[in-house]
Amino acid sequence: MDVTILNTPELGDRSYIIHDGVDAVVIDPQRDIARVLEAVRDNGLTIRAVGETHIHNDYVTGGLELAKRLGVPYFVNEADDVSYERTPVSDGFTFRAGTFTITVVSTPGHTPTHISYLAVSDDGKAAVFTGGSLLYGSVGRPDLLGPEMTDFLARSQFRSVRRLADTLADEVEVQPTHGFGSFCSSSSCEAGSTSTIGNEKRSNFALLLDDEDEFKKVLLAGLDAWPAYYRYMGPANLAGPSAYFDEVPRELELSDVEAHLAKGSFVVDTRSAEEYAAGHIPGSHAIPLGNSFSTYLGWIVDRDRDVVLLTRNEAEALEASRQLARISYDSVVGFHRMPDGTAVDEPRTLSVAKFADLDQVRHKDSVVILDVRRNDERRNSFIQGSVHIPIHELPERLAELDGMRDKEIWVHCAGGYRATLASSILANAGHAVVCVNDDYAAYFSSHG
């Protein structure tokens, strides 16, 4: 039995193909199922079933479409109130595929109906696919369904991960869906990590804490806000997501972009921070295409708002559109090609600096330092005298900065990515801005 891992670093998640070289079962596929089909085709596999560990909060599933297209069973917990036909499963359900057997294990905690899948091959190799239950060094967060459920889910998580640790052999591989940067995790690990039940017993805080109340206290203390788009994911996955097909968005002329700006569309420049700073379309926002693109766009832009992409080429437009489709943002109306900057008559520029530059001006009355990191980051350290507004709160809290229009706002985050987006928001609101595109950790370690 082998396991093919499909990483989605943009969302910090993994999907899995369990197979024996002939027959395969897919666990937690994302909406862009073309890569799943390509992987099984390239390896000569036949998918026999598709399974979900839970109703996901951080991405739209491709499980329903994949199972429908192939005519195979679609395993979803029988307790989930979905709006489509599926193969309802519960604790102890088993399924045979080729030379291995899949068994469902109830592991509530991340959600009330969360399940894991234990795969055991005829030669004794075993792996457990834990979704948002037991992660590498951590567990899935229990607070995504609201405060009224948090206590119950935290305590359920405590018991579920112990069930896995107590009933499975130490050598069983652990294969979680979350934990590689996803906000569904209570902490993160490296995407290249591997682990076993034995490793987790020795290193996972959730299994090292024997007291349930202490576990809950430690677990909840480390949590902060999650992306605003999460509120759409559960309902979309319960209703049954529509199919997604990889298609390059319609190409737009500059006049089209300007028309969309005029009517309130969100125009996002996906080029690098340096390219945006050198010259961009006035009114556009900077969210460089990369592993955080969809997270931060989905955090500050409503799903129903039209989105226009500014990219260097078609490939980048397709990638940006694909990332947004994974979080159910189907409102991309097109893209405008910007390979050599912008053709507008009067492009806007953005002032960029380093922390060393900030040190030279930070004590001037005309300067405001704005920290746009999350609350948990700021608790660890911050620049004295700085104003704190997390990036995801900035659009709704701009009025708090109205009294600073006679000052220059120097914006920083941890590495410059969020500062670039925040600077574009502030500049579009009429503020004088300097973006600190620099490494905060290196700066703070030398300045204290």
* CATH label of the domain that carries residue 261: 3.40.250.10
**Same structural domain for residues 88 and 202?**
yes
Same domain, 233 and 260: no
Q: Indicate whether 212 and 83 sit together in one domain.
A: yes
Residues 55 and 191 in one domain: yes
Residue 123 lies in a domain: yes
The answer as to whether 363 is a domain residue is: yes
102-130 tens-digit pLDDT: 999 999 999 999 999 999 999 999 999 99
Residue 14 and residue 53: Cα distance in Å, rounded? 12
127 and 262 assigned to the same domain: no
- Which is more confidently placed, 192 or 321? 321
Counting the structural domains of the chain, the total is 3
The answer to whether residue 291 is domain-embedded is: yes
CA distance 109 to 139: 9
In this prediction, residues 257-274 reach a mean pLDDT of 96
- 102 with 187, same domain: the answer is yes
Let me know if residue 138 belongs to a domain: yes
Q: Please indicate, yes or no, whether residues 109 and 231 belong to a single structural domain of this protein.
A: yes
17 is a domain residue: yes
Confidence of residue 382 (pLDDT cuts 50, 70, 90): very high
Whether residues 378 and 355 fall in one domain = yes
Distance CA 251, CA 256 (A): 10
SS3 content of the chain, % helix, strand, coil (to 5): 35, 25, 45
Task: Flag whether pLDDT at 192 surpasses 60.
Answer: no
Question: What's the pTM value of the predicted model, to 2 decimals?
Answer: 0.93
Q: Are residues 9 and 79 in the same domain?
A: yes
Tell me: do 279 and 230 sit in the same domain: no
Tens-digit pLDDT profile for residues 335-368: 999 987 777 888 999 999 999 999 999 899 999 9
Residue 439: inside a domain:
yes
Domain boundary among 239, 262, 290: 239
Domain check: are 209 and 274 in the same one?
no
Range of the domain at 211: 2-239
Q: Are residues 45 and 94 in the same domain?
A: yes
